[in-house]
Chain A
Amino acid sequence: MLKTFPKGGIHPPENKLTSSKNIKRLAVPKMVNVPIAQHIGIPAEIIVEVKEKVKIGQVIAKSGGFVSSNIHSPVAGTVTKLDKIIDTSAYKKQCIVIRTDVKDESNFEEKEYPLKQEIELSSKEILQRINEFGIVGLGGATFPSHVKLNVKEGVKIDCLLINGVECEPYLTADHRLMLEKSEEIIVGIEILMKALNINKAIIGIENNKKDAIDLFKKATKNNSKIQVAALQVKYPQGGEKQLVKALLKREVPKNGLPLDVGVIVHNVGTIFAIYEAVQYDKPLIERVVTVTGKKIENASNFWVKIGTPISDLIAEVGGMPEGTRKIVNGGPMMGKAIKNTDVPVTKGTSGILVIAEDEASRGEPKNCIRCGECVYVCPMGLEPHLLMNLSEKGLFERASNEDIMTCIECGSCSYVCPSDRPLLDYIRFGKNIVKKLQTSKN
């Protein structure tokens, strides 16, 4: 039996259209829009001025606090504007606009980064480097990695989990990265094990990526510290708490973190970024993005500079297909619908999904038939129908007592609801109010 988490979960159609497509390097964009809030936490502080020349990889916005992250220039060029533009959150956010200097060769150098296995830096230096080079969780949550790795005195970590699950339908960025950069990822894991001073790491990969599982099994055959675990295909297995449960049978306490059970979880993409930062002093200025959709002509995976407008990516795959009704930044389960393709790729952009008319619209909500499907599929053991009802009626205190805040917003409830009820929409609304009520109380 393959491992998986025991409670809830769904099996949406996988639609991994691009799993056999090599990661191509997208041409350097003429202009990049780099938002200063690409991570969870405090936005970074801009340290460049308009008309200032910047080098590739230069810090252009400094970490604004502990839970924050540095932001580096993805290109060599000139800062043309410090402006508010709409980013993937659909809000206007402060951005640094940089015009690429087409004469600067550093923009077009195809640098070779041969595999570098010896880890020279000390544990402290590694953590410092991760902090300085703007590494955040690339699985989608964009939580600053150095915060996750900042293990306080008295906290005992015994295992590092590597999230290679990629349970979102359509997305293949992590899958491709695992296939193409397996050796580097293994070094990245060793770097983190050294930084955390632990001897155990497990890579969790869902069984629909057998090639990646085999590859890692082979590569770690003589490595007693790193294990590879094949997981059953089930959404949302990439959720931290679900993954910890699936791989180690440990349950993260309610309102707790994996740290509470001695575990740290990192996405494979993050591990690769850490490898590059530690071994080659390379800041996080690009990432792998899957550009996909059933009607997309040349759906594929790309190395994309942060700040590249999504329109560049769409043009690269053959243009916007006729009848497109929805553009999603991320996967279909948790991604955000965006208004137009001027929005830039950020550190959290794992994919761009283009959806046509037939799948874009939701059904008209009908009466709840109390079938209980939402309750069965909720991986957090919540009662989505009840939480929706309470949020709709404004009973936020009760919603809070029914653990609304522990919802991970995976969307399994809305996915299965046979009456097309907007369960997660109301739960999000309820969560927002509860959060506000809680902060105003404190």
Chain B
Amino acid sequence: MSQPIIISASPHVHSERTSKKIMYDVVIALIPAFLVSLYVFGINAFIVTAVAVISCLAFEYLIQKYLLKTEITIGDGSALITGILLAFNLPSGLPIWMIIVGSLVAIGIAKLSFGGLGFNIFNPALVGRVFLLVSFPVQMTMWPTAVENNLSMADGVTGATTLGMIKEGLMFGETMTEIATKIPSTIDLFLGITGGSIGEMSAIALLIGGIYLLVRKVISWHIPVTMLVTMAVITGIFWVINPEQYANPLIHILSGGALLGAFFMATDLVTSPMTKKGMVIFAVGIGVITVVIRLFGAYPEGVSFAILIMNAFVPLINTYFKPRRFGANIKSKIV
């Protein structure tokens, strides 16, 4: 025996699954949505995504190397995902320096100042996004419109998102029947031929990615399904009561960040609860807050805020929704 015998405690075998593999599965799942964004927004989608990814990785490297002087973890895939998700939540025409600022907030403040991977309370990409939205509301809501079959987006042509159009229309006293003539058809929403953030438009692409994550067991159905069902039920009730004042549930689910949020943002392992029970509570909360913001708030869209608000409740949910201990509250038959 050339090398010494290893003495370690059991178990002596380990599963092949690693954090890194999980992270790269998420990256793979985001590819369909990225391809659609390239089709719809052309080179701009690529530029925004590349800038976000590179600056997220660079900030993680620089901060870990020079500020924190800790181990450099840019290879673990988490900063890569933050970069992609941040880009997916931005309009395709956003100035590059703003993307860099957003990345700094995401990685520097939301992730590393909390202690790095696994210690952050809030989803870093969403913190970056919301920071930009609050700081630069004009630029963050200038949505280059999708021109069908036009791969090179005409510069300066911007319009509102579907949810934005609905909110605006309702504010000016229009009925849903009138608004329906202006907004993209349900089919277009499903395919992603619409305005919006880079990665949020195509329902079909996000669903493919989401199903991949479910099949690979990176996520479980509890968060996405509960969140979407909650949204559908609440918006459905309002729609049934007054279809002229409220958009139907299908529009709510297919437009805005609902699907991106449900499958990719709310399911972030670090910032979501650890039990299935907790996940359901968490997802119901996101669904309710999203709908409240969409229907009654100032912003047309509320998924980001809803997820961040519920992120704050995760430690509480983990404390109060524990798995049932084996044998708890079971009485012995011995008298």
Q: Which A residues have a C-beta under 8 Å from some C-beta of B?
A: 7, 10, 12-13, 90, 154-156, 169, 241, 251-256, 259-262, 320, 323-328, 330, 332-340, 353, 355, 357, 359-363, 366-372, 375-376, 378-383, 385, 403, 406, 409, 411, 414-420, 422, 424-425, 428
Complex interface: stretch among B85-93, B195-203, B267-275: B267-275
Q: List the count of A-B residue pairs having beta carbons below 8 Å apart.
A: 177
Tell me the bound Cα distance from A256 to B22 in angstroms: 38
The answer to whether B330 touches A251, judged by C-beta atoms less than 8 angstroms apart, is yes
The answer to whether B269 touches A253, judged by C-beta atoms less than 8 angstroms apart, is no
Q: Is B10 in the interface zone, CB < 8 Å from A?
A: yes
Q: Is B241 in the interface zone, CB < 8 Å from A?
A: no
Q: Is B332 in the interface zone, CB < 8 Å from A?
A: yes
The answer to whether B19 touches A324, judged by C-beta atoms less than 8 angstroms apart, is no
Chain B residues near A419: list those with CB within 8 A.
18-19, 118
The SS class assigned to the B binding surface is loop
Quick one: which of A12, A241, A383 contacts B13, CB cutoff 8 A? A12
Residue of chain B at shortest CB distance from A336: B10
Chain B residues near A385: list those with CB within 8 A.
274
Interface membership of chain B positions 207-243, coded 1 if the CB is closer than 8 angstroms to chain A and 0 otherwise: 0000000000000000000000000000000000000
Quick one: which of B1, B10, B323, B328 contacts A411, CB cutoff 8 A? B10
The answer to whether B330 touches A362, judged by C-beta atoms less than 8 angstroms apart, is no
Chain A residues near B116: list those with CB within 8 A.
367
Chain A residues near B330: list those with CB within 8 A.
251-254, 256
Quick one: which of B6, B11, B19, B274 contacts A360, CB cutoff 8 A? B6
The answer to whether B19 touches A369, judged by C-beta atoms less than 8 angstroms apart, is yes
**Distance of A166 from chain B, by nearest CB (Å):** 16
The answer to whether B11 touches A424, judged by C-beta atoms less than 8 angstroms apart, is yes
| Closest CB pairs A-B (n = 5) | A411-B11, A372-B274, A260-B332, A254-B327, A367-B118
Which range holds the interface residue count of chain B? 35 or more
The answer to whether B327 touches A252, judged by C-beta atoms less than 8 angstroms apart, is yes
* Residues B5-24 near A (CB distance < 8 A): 5-15, 17-19, 21-22
Interface membership of chain B positions 255-279, coded 1 if the CB is closer than 8 angstroms to chain A and 0 otherwise: 0000000000000011111111000
Residue of chain B at shortest CB distance from A337: B7
The answer to whether A324 touches B10, judged by C-beta atoms less than 8 angstroms apart, is no
Contact sample, A vs B, 30 pairs, CB 8 Å cutoff: A7-B324, A12-B15, A156-B334, A251-B326, A251-B327, A252-B326, A253-B331, A254-B325, A254-B326, A254-B327, A325-B6, A327-B5, A333-B13, A337-B7, A337-B10, A339-B5, A359-B13, A366-B19, A369-B22, A370-B272, A371-B19, A371-B269, A372-B273, A382-B323, A383-B323, A409-B10, A411-B11, A415-B13, A418-B18, A418-B21
User: A382-B325, A415-B13 in contact; A155/B8 too (CB < 8 A)?
Assistant: no
Residue of chain B at shortest CB distance from A385: B274
Known: A252-B326, A369-B117, A370-B271. 6 other contacts (CB 8 A): A251-B330, A333-B11, A334-B10, A337-B12, A361-B6, A372-B269
User: A369-B117, A372-B275, A381-B326 in contact; A326/B15 too (CB < 8 A)?
Assistant: no
Tell me the bound Cα distance from A428 to B8 in angstroms: 13
**Distance of A251 from chain B, by nearest CB (Å):** 5
Tell me the bound Cα distance from A363 to B15 in angstroms: 11
**Distance of B326 from chain A, by nearest CB (Å):** 4
Tell me the bound Cα distance from A326 to B15 in angstroms: 18
Quick one: which of A253, A339, A363, A367 contacts B7, CB cutoff 8 A? A339
The answer to whether B327 touches A253, judged by C-beta atoms less than 8 angstroms apart, is yes
User: A369-B270, A424-B9 in contact; A362/B14 too (CB < 8 A)?
Assistant: yes
